[in-house]
Amino acid sequence: MRLRFRLLHILIAGLVLDCSAAAAAPLSSAGITFSDELGGFTVTSVSGSGTLNDPFVVAEDIAGPQEAILVIKGFSPAFGNRVGSHHLTGFAIEKVVTNRSGDDWNLFEMELREVLDQQSPYGDGLSFGQASVVGRPFISSVFPQVDEIDEPYDSLSFHGGIVRPGETVTFKFIVTDTSPVSPFMLLQQPSKIVADLPRHGIATLTAARPPALVRSP
């Protein structure tokens, strides 16, 4: 009887793992793959071709307090530049993010990186369309204000609004590269800030965070 129970337990565990793997499968559109393989959130759908008129639309559910790291694969010179900027490669993206956490969000930060534990310097060529007027301004359905940093790293900080649990927010921006690599990452950090001073990059993957920055528990 005990052996039968153990075999049943193993079978159920295997089915759960199979279902989890299927749910976390990366999604692709027009040759670009968007993956939630590093955890912290779920990519629920992907569509579009990456042009300004037909951007990649990536729908996500974010539940946890940790960074939601979107892994993007397939970006190469062969993909080309679909936004018409001066960069070698580029695409337009619309992110549709649903707040599955238990907290309000009044800040949403994004940061591009080619290496997970290193901020993106000017020399790697990866940016949110640096030095281009194409794809501007960056737009959010909830946050009317956005701060862009392009040196010494590449980040966008959307603020001035509130996304409550169960609500959805959209963001529209472009990603470009003069020497594309695959994969690269988009770090995402929605937050509830109760006090805010100048910032120096996203959360725990960044070497330094201003001590005056206070997040709610």
> pLDDT 10s digit of each residue in the chain, 217 long?
443 433 333 333 343 334 333 445 899 999 999 999 998 899 999 999 999 999 999 999 999 888 899 999 999 999 999 999 999 999 999 999 999 999 999 999 999 999 999 998 878 899 999 999 999 999 999 999 999 998 889 999 999 999 999 999 999 999 999 999 999 999 999 998 876 444 555 544 433 333 333 333 3
Q: Is residue 2 part of a domain?
A: no
Q: Is residue 7 part of a domain?
A: no
DSSP string, 46-91: EE--SSSSS-EEEEEEE-SSS-EEEEEE--STTT-BSS--SSSEEE
Q: Which amino acid is at 128?
A: F
Token pair for 144: 């009317």
Q: Is residue 9 part of a domain?
A: no
Residue of 119, 167, 128, 124 lying closest to 150 (CA atoms): 128
Token pair for 156: 């966008």
Q: Is residue 5 part of a domain?
A: no
Say how far apart CA 137 and CA 5 lie, in whole Å. Answer: 60
Token pair for 161: 């609004």
**What pLDDT shows up at residue 120?**
86
Question: Radius of gyration of the chain from Cα atoms?
Answer: 19
Residue 102 CB contacts under 8 Å (≥ 6 apart), including other chains: 165
Alpha helices (runs of H) in the chain, residue ranges in sequence order: 2-23
Q: Which amino acid is at 204?
A: T
Q: Which domain holds residue 177?
A: 26-215
Phi, psi of 13 (to 5 degrees): -60, -40
Confirm whether pTM is higher than 0.85: no
Measured CA distances, 91 to 86, 156, 194 (Å): 12, 16, 34
Residue 36, helix vs strand vs coil: coil
Measured CA distances, 12 to 1, 16, 20, 46 (Å): 17, 6, 12, 30
Q: Is residue 1 part of a domain?
A: no
Q: What is the count of structural domains for the chain?
A: 1
**What pLDDT shows up at residue 5?**
33
Q: Is residue 72 part of a domain?
A: yes
